[in-house]
Structure 1
Amino acid sequence: MDEFDGVGGSDGVGGSDGVGGSDGVSLSSVFDRRVRTSPRAPAVRDVGGEPVSWGELGDRVTALAADLAARGVRPATVVSWQLPTSVEAIVLLLALCRLGATQNPLLPVYGDRELDFILRQARPALLIVDGADPARTAAARRVAAAVARDGAPIDVLAWGKDSPARGGPLAPPTGVAGRWYFYTSGTTSVPKGVVHADRAVLAAGRTLVERLGLRPDDRYGAVFPLCHVGGPAWQVAAMLVGFETLCVARFTDEAISALQDFDVTIAGAGPPFFLAYLAAQRALPAGRRLFPSVRAFPGGGTGRPPDLDARMVAAFGAGIVPTYGLTEAPIVCMGRLGDSPAQRATTEGIAAPTARLRVTAADGGAAPAGSDGEIQLRGDHLMLGYLDPELTAAAMTPDGWLRTGDLGRLDAAGYLTVTGRIKDVIIRNMENVSAVEVEQVLATHPGVTDVSVIGLPDGRTGERVCAVIVPAAADAPPSLADLTGWCARAGLMKQKWPEQVELVDELPRNPVGKVAKAQLRERYLPGADTAAAAPR
């Protein structure tokens, strides 16, 4: 079978609680319902801060919505904002939802180049930046002024420094469905502007609730950036269920300690975070558990070590619940709490309740079950399109499916395994080598802490396999011979063995944890002709 959807199933969640399929509601109406239902229950807190109840959060959202409305924000007004994950950022997000504005959350790492591109494309009326960062504020004003010279002015508000205009009492509209402009994290080129309606963010949040069996007594650690599409999805889950969120602005050792003090039960959000939790656990005295109440580690990120789930279970008594999605279709696929160890270790789960997946062969036809092909998506999670209509036309099939550019396979039960990127295939001697497959083998070597595999030009074979590794011991890193021997013992065909090894202290990653392979290729291209070669 080549196509699966998550609709129907005895474990689906639906009905009047609003957790089921798309029903046309807005994020604002979901939030208002939670405020009415649980006004005294804790909703959110910052690291080192006091809990804010749902009722208090509602009051703050209402007050800020009035201030923003007095500043001119109306339904469909485009507002760009670039803030770290915090209670205040959540208040802003929800206030904009209440006004029906079009939100454009920006990753905090975006610099002048990305900001200039986004402001010219999104054309916001208001840009909100972190006033606690003078350099960022000055850069935002400079870029906004340059963009405004070619178009309409952009009002810049330094959050925490400039106070929004104080308006009078206001009953902002509720139930107004908002729109979102999310930008891809962009590891290879300028980011792409993705247009979503509330529907997609709600669908992603509902998937989290259904697959994790989320409960009001859960405590979620928000280490994932709020300004990424997964951030609002987790806020939807919190509003639907009523659990408390700890906002982590920067993921540091202190943040891990804060998660421990919070007694987190749901700890995300991908392999780099999980590896950090394991390191923190090893540093504790024997018999003491870092997260004694944790029951799941949800997180995306393909190419994770196949033994990572088993290591998490051994250390914490809880395993990984994998997720798969894109900025264009968030959390479109996810595992279940009851999945087998093999399913948790090697797949990304099954289609979300209102999503559909299919895998297509190179000729566009259906790939048989278990065969690799391009992963394509559709359903409630899917974007409305890109801000650039030419990108939309190129990304969509004639029958309305999104071409993800990811390679994968579906098994007979509908579980998805991601095997690489169409553009991340190394072509060596006219044979395709999946970088992800090689990474998964090398990641199990005891001398390897982290690894990324890239293709580099080779005059004889076209491309050669280069492994960039973070060694477990800097003074005794594994050699090329060590790694090729490991690949041989793992049964990896010789054509896929690494032919060049580079050592780094850490891999460059984008804000959501994906390795920036373009940076690695650029770094090692100049020395490609002098690299050591493995036996062929």
Structure 2
Amino acid sequence: MSGTGTAPFAFAPGVTAAVDVLAREQPDAPAVIEVGDRPRTLSWAELKAEADRVSAVLLDLGVQPGESVAFQLPNWAECVTVTLGVLQIGAVVAPIMPVFGEREVAMVLARAKARVLVLPRSFRKRHHAEELAAVVREAAASGRTLLVEHVLVIGDTDPSGAPRAGAAPADSSQSGVERGRSAHFGTSEPTLQAWEWHDFDAATAAAHAEPAAIAARRPSETDVAQLLFTSGTTGEPKGVQHAHRSLDLATAMEVAHLGLTTDDRIYIPSPLAHQTGFLYGLLLSWQLGVASVVQPIWDPKVALRQAFGGAHASFVQAATPFLMDVVEAVEGGETQPSSLRIFVATGAAVPRELAERATRVLDTAVCGAFGTTETCLGTLSAPSDPPGSAWGTDGRPLDGIRIRIVDDEGTELPAGREGNYELLSPTLFLGYLDRPDLTAEVFTPDGWYKTGDLGIVDTDGFLHVTGRVKDVINRGGEKIPVVEIENLLFTHPRVKDVAIVAMPDPRLGERACAFVVTADGQEPLGFTEMQEFLAAARVSKYYWPERLEAIEALPRNPVGKIQKNLLRERVAALLAAENDSTALESTEA
């Protein structure tokens, strides 16, 4: 349960160049292990060779330094080769979440000004190549200009003939290229007809990689590496730009903080299109020089049996739903993951009861952390911290990072006082794409990043995030400690998940509504029972939720964050409907 290997050796000029070193010095060692329906392993030499062929294709298509290359790929091994192929020639990765539909895809393609798009023919009952017709229509309807010239389609089977994980069964003699270009669309979409369509496997197989040409395009540490669009739960997503240096440094800081070594293997259940999977999964594995274990389709049994049981993954950073599912699977009889030594819980607030339970059930260190797409990780606990601080807080600042809690006037507050959480870090982003105005809004006059979160720093220096500023419930001038009440309700045996949001109130401004997911095999928690539970816990009645709504599942974005904006809209609509019904009854009376 502990790492005994050596610390990673330093790479220059960055972690992408590390693959060159590893391909020469450890050519046969595993670099990528794909688990699931299509188990596949790439050695460092194979990863480098495949990435070089991707780079050659992109260079032939005229991709320039600093140009964004978009791809909408699941966690296949091919996503890793595309990522490296883009980065090592100085282009910018612009990943698109696999679950995104035409609206989001059109937005990313237009705003990234992507000329080249890589996507699967199909994945999980969707036909992405064919869906580009709807993307084009969405772009036209929303006034967006698409600059796409080339589409590389990854087929349902790989060159060995093995079906790719999640790909649809073959239903046509036509390839994804043929279906995308003509058969499915006909002539009604002239934009699509003008694009050049390429079979990814055929193009990379025919490519002639010139090592000198690829080496000549090696990026510098200040070049843009990544364009990642935020989840956009409160408005249109913003394009976050990171340089190679900030990403390289962020992974090195986590390695040092947690004491990761070359004995570790990095498990990546989070989408590679999200910062958690991309940075604290893939790039972290390159920083360490160890294998990454990727899983295209989430299934806790596959994770336990293949990622941990077979591939012996020892580290994972992922959001609450992943942790919850693995814990429940082990409690349901699956084998405990003996290789797992550290689980860093990020992406969404982790109920403290779940974190403590996971520590016991999985027999591993569960570490709290807090970061954003813009900042990378700012705080992180460590296995050596006292257990209650390791999983019961959001960690301490990593070396080189400063944090502070300030009031609304910007005055720094002492330990134990709640206020606005800000940080100063060498891993900050370069800015929002084409939006210097929005970039300026998130920084204080003295250069600190405003996270938009509320928090407390305790006397030991650990951060406790208490909620989002926009999620605060102001009941008649008194703020309700949302996270504290959520954590408490989560401990009720009949509650599987819970979220508390504000509902409008004409007298007090806002009141609290609890949305509760019932635990498996249990009866739904009643409103009176909730009140009795909170009373027994000696919670001030002022803080009790004043409405309870049972819900099958909390709405979450693709990386596990609860979309409280949707819950607020839902309860507001319920109240409006009830008020309309009451008004109608009064009129009839």
Shared fold per TM-score greater than 0.5: yes
**Conserved in 2, the CA contact under 8 Å of 1:30 and 1:239?**
yes
Give the Cα separation in 1 of the matches to 2:65 and 2:14: 13
1:196 aligned residue: 242
1:525 aligned residue: 572
Structure 1 residue 120: deviation in Å?
2.4
Give the Cα separation in 2 of the matches to 1:211 and 1:491: 38
Structure of larger gyration radius: 2
Alignment of 1:250-265 (within 5 A): 250-256=297-303, 257-259=305-307, 260-265=309-314
**Conserved in 1, the CA contact under 8 Å of 2:53 and 2:208?**
no
1:51 aligned counterpart, secondary structure: strand
CA pair 76-283 structure 1, distance change in 2 beyond 3 A = same
Alignment of 1:176-195 (within 5 A): 176-177=219-220, 178-179=223-224, 180-195=226-241
**Conserved in 1, the CA contact under 8 Å of 2:267 and 2:292?**
yes
Give the Cα separation in 2 of the matches to 1:506 and 1:473: 12
Q: Give unpaired runs (5+ residues) of structure 2.
A: 1-5, 156-175, 177-197, 580-589
Structure 1 residue 377: deviation in Å?
2.1
What is the number of residues matched between the two proteins? 511
2:322 aligned counterpart, secondary structure: helix
Give the Cα separation in 1 of the matches to 2:462 and 2:272: 28
Structure 1 residue 419: deviation in Å?
0.6
Give the Cα separation in 2 of the matches to 1:101 and 1:116: 20
Structure 1 residue 492: deviation in Å?
2.3
Give the Cα separation in 1 of the matches to 2:522 and 2:543: 27
Give the Cα separation in 2 of the matches to 1:270 and 1:306: 14
1:76 has 2:66 as partner: yes
Q: Give unpaired runs (5+ residues) of structure 1.
A: 1-13, 532-536
Q: Deviations 1:26-68 (Å, cap 9, x if unpaired)?
A: 3322322232332221111211423211121111111221122
Q: In structure 2, what residue type is equivalent to 1:478?
A: L
CA pair 33-524 structure 1, distance change in 2 beyond 3 A = same
**Conserved in 2, the CA contact under 8 Å of 1:458 and 1:528?**
no
Give the Cα separation in 2 of the matches to 1:144 and 1:71: 21
Alignment of 1:416-431 (within 5 A): 416-431=463-478
Q: In structure 2, what residue type is equivalent to 1:27?
A: V
**Identical residues among aligned pairs (%):** 32
Alignment of 1:291-440 (within 5 A): 291-387=337-433, 388-440=435-487
CA pair 113-87 structure 1, distance change in 2 beyond 3 A = same
Give the Cα separation in 1 of the matches to 2:317 and 2:427: 21
Between 254-263 and 391-400, the greater mean CA deviation after superposition: 254-263
Alignment of 1:26-425 (within 5 A): 26-47=14-35, 48-133=38-123, 135-144=127-136, 146=139, 150=145, 152-160=147-155, 161=176, 162-164=198-200, 165=203, 166-171=206-211, 172-173=214-215, 175-177=218-220, 178-179=223-224, 180-233=226-279, 234-256=281-303, 257-259=305-307, 260-284=309-333, 289-387=335-433, 388-425=435-472
**Conserved in 2, the CA contact under 8 Å of 1:200 and 1:382?**
yes
Give the Cα separation in 2 of the matches to 1:265 and 1:474: 32
**Conserved in 2, the CA contact under 8 Å of 1:129 and 1:140?**
no
CA pair 210-521 structure 1, distance change in 2 beyond 3 A = same
Between 429-438 and 359-368, the greater mean CA deviation after superposition: 429-438
Structure 1 residue 167: deviation in Å?
4.2
Give the Cα separation in 2 of the matches to 1:420 and 1:482: 25
1:534 aligned residue: none
- Structure 2 length normalisation: TM-score? 0.82
CA pair 255-187 structure 1, distance change in 2 beyond 3 A = farther
Give the Cα separation in 2 of the matches to 1:53 and 1:276: 30
1:108 aligned counterpart, secondary structure: coil
Give the Cα separation in 2 of the matches to 1:15 and 1:483: 50
2:416 aligned counterpart, secondary structure: coil
- Structure 1 length normalisation: TM-score? 0.89
Structure 1 residue 141: deviation in Å?
4.9
Between 360-369 and 478-487, the greater mean CA deviation after superposition: 478-487
Q: Deviations 1:377-401 (Å, cap 9, x if unpaired)?
A: 2222111111122211211112211
Structure 1 residue 159: deviation in Å?
2.6
Q: In structure 2, what residue type is equivalent to 1:295?
A: R
Structure 1 residue 463: deviation in Å?
1.2
Q: Which has the higher contact order (CA 8 A, sep 6+)?
A: 1
